[in-house]
Chains A and B, each alone.
Chain A
Amino acid sequence: MAKELLLKAEIREKTGSNSVKQVLKQGRIPAVIYGHKEEPIAISLEEHNFMEGLHHGLRLIDVQLGKKKQKTLIKELQYDCLGKKVLHADLMRIDVTEVLKITVPLEIKGSAAGMHDGGIIEQHSNKLEIECLATDIPKSIVVSVKNMKIGDSIHARDIQLPEGVKLVTSPEILMVSCHVVVEAKTTEQIEMELPAAPEVIGEVKEPEEGEAEEKK
């Protein structure tokens, strides 16, 4: 069951990059609330509480706007170039009774039997799209790879989902596989494969000496 967080929000009168910079300087995160056929509202949230909730894996937020309380889902986050700081949050209004489509992280648990035989576990996708009630959103979906041998694979259809959760991702998508790693090439091997200089696109090659004489 997903936990919830109550955050007090302030309406942002001014929008645009300059005012957003000032909001960020004040230690607040600019955000927008939209959905349910209502007007979108530009707001700002307290950074510390929002980040704390995010680190605990919370997806649902109760936003207190004046006297009105709105239940929202964190739909998207914008990060800075280093991926450290949240620059903007998209919050979508939701109803507790409505079914949502949402992507949740896929977590691998255990060490595979194939790893003892020289294989590795490769995770091809780290997200899974599911459909569930807002109150049933799982923090993550755990996949046990304990019994996987070399050559085994887990597709989306093989993943056991919690009760009340439906799979939206194509069931044929490969999620996890166990295989042997091909031995890494040495620098010498790579150099042997590569040409001395790259081919220039559109450049006409000069005929070699033998060919040039034949033409004459």
Chain B
Amino acid sequence: MAMMPKRVKYRKSQRGKMKGNAHRSNYVAFGEYGLQALETSWVTAKHIEAGRVAATHYLHREGKVYIRIFPCKPVSSKPLETRMGKGKGETEFWTATVKPGQVCFEIGGVDEDVAKQALVRVAHKMPIKCRFVRRRHSL
């Protein structure tokens, strides 16, 4: 499991609703270019790690990759061939709830062409539609 919290208040959580758009972290804040989510979905720790590896591998130690999402939500499931009941299953994986507008990845310190190519590779690893965005310089 690549990313998960170090400490949690509760071991298991309910699934929750995923409605609305991202009204925070919906702009490029750290790097120069970013990858913005256009759909709502759970993005698991595996997806994020695959995206990080794809970007860092393409950049060859040039530039800097920022990850703006963190999988803080535990998702549990019951083992196969188990009868219902006997309580909630164990945590299977960790996810981040991503809403339209959320900037998931950012890249800084490289040219636009390089950043675009790297973020296209990241977008292929994501379970949602994404778009390439630039930092808004003026206003």
**Which residues of A line the B interface, CB within 8 A?**
54, 57, 59, 74, 76-77, 79, 81-83, 104-105, 107, 118, 120-123, 126, 139-140, 181, 183-184, 187, 190-191, 194-195, 197-203
User: Across the interface, which residues of B come within 8 angstroms of A107, CB to CB?
Assistant: 137
Please give me the residue from chain B that is nearest to A186 by CB atom. Answer: B53
User: Across the interface, which residues of B come within 8 angstroms of A59, CB to CB?
Assistant: 138-139
Q: Is the CB of A198 within 8 A of B6?
A: yes
User: Across the interface, which residues of B come within 8 angstroms of A123, CB to CB?
Assistant: 32, 108-109
Contacts A120-B64, A183-B61, A184-B61 hold; do A81 and B100 have CB atoms under 8 A apart? yes
User: Across the interface, which residues of A come within 8 angstroms of B61, CB to CB?
Assistant: 118, 181, 183-184
User: Across the interface, which residues of B come within 8 angstroms of A57, CB to CB?
Assistant: 138
User: Binary interface profile of B, 93-133, with partner A (CB < 8 Å = 1, else 0)?
Assistant: 00000001100000011100000000000000000000001
User: Binary interface profile of B, 62-94, with partner A (CB < 8 Å = 1, else 0)?
Assistant: 111100000000000000000000000001000
Q: Is the CB of A82 within 8 A of B139?
A: no
Contacts A122-B64, A181-B64 hold; do A82 and B7 have CB atoms under 8 A apart? no
User: Across the interface, which residues of A come within 8 angstroms of B11, CB to CB?
Assistant: 200, 203
Residue from the list A118, A126, A199 in contact with B137, Cβ < 8 A: A126
Contacts A57-B138, A83-B101 hold; do A121 and B53 have CB atoms under 8 A apart? no
Q: Is the CB of A82 within 8 A of B4?
A: no
User: Across the interface, which residues of B come within 8 angstroms of A199, CB to CB?
Assistant: 6-8
B41 interface residue (CB < 8 Å to A):
no
Q: Is the CB of A194 within 8 A of B26?
A: no
Q: Is the CB of B100 within 8 A of A82?
A: yes
User: Across the interface, which residues of A come within 8 angstroms of B23, CB to CB?
Assistant: 81
User: Across the interface, which residues of B come within 8 angstroms of A74, CB to CB?
Assistant: 139
Residue from the list B9, B52, B91 in contact with A197, Cβ < 8 A: B91
Most buried by A among B7, B22, B109, B139: B139
Residue from the list B1, B4, B22, B65 in contact with A81, Cβ < 8 A: B22
Residue from the list A81, A139, A201 in contact with B9, Cβ < 8 A: A201
Q: Once bound together, how far apart are the Cα atoms of A64 and B32, in whole Å?
A: 36
State the Cβ distance, A143 to closest chain B Cβ, in Å: 13
> Which chain B residues numbered 17 to 49 have a C-beta less than 8 Å away from chain A?
21-23, 26-27, 32, 36, 38, 49
B15 interface residue (CB < 8 Å to A):
no
CB-CB nearest 6 A-B residue pairs:
A81-B21, A105-B137, A81-B101, A120-B109, A184-B56, A198-B8
What are 24 contact pairs spanning A and B, CB under 8 A? A57-B138, A76-B139, A81-B23, A82-B36, A83-B26, A104-B138, A120-B62, A120-B64, A120-B109, A122-B64, A123-B32, A123-B108, A126-B135, A126-B137, A139-B138, A140-B137, A183-B61, A184-B52, A187-B2, A190-B2, A198-B8, A200-B7, A202-B9, A203-B11
Q: Once bound together, how far apart are the Cα atoms of A123 and B117, in whole Å?
A: 21
User: Across the interface, which residues of A come within 8 angstroms of B21, CB to CB?
Assistant: 81-82
Contacts A82-B100, A120-B64, A199-B8 hold; do A187 and B137 have CB atoms under 8 A apart? no
B5 interface residue (CB < 8 Å to A):
yes
Q: Is the CB of A181 within 8 A of B137?
A: no
Q: Is the CB of A82 within 8 A of B5?
A: no
Q: Once bound together, how far apart are the Cα atoms of A203 and B11, in whole Å?
A: 10
Please give me the residue from chain A that is nearest to B137 by CB atom. Answer: A105
State the Cβ distance, A187 to closest chain B Cβ, in Å: 6
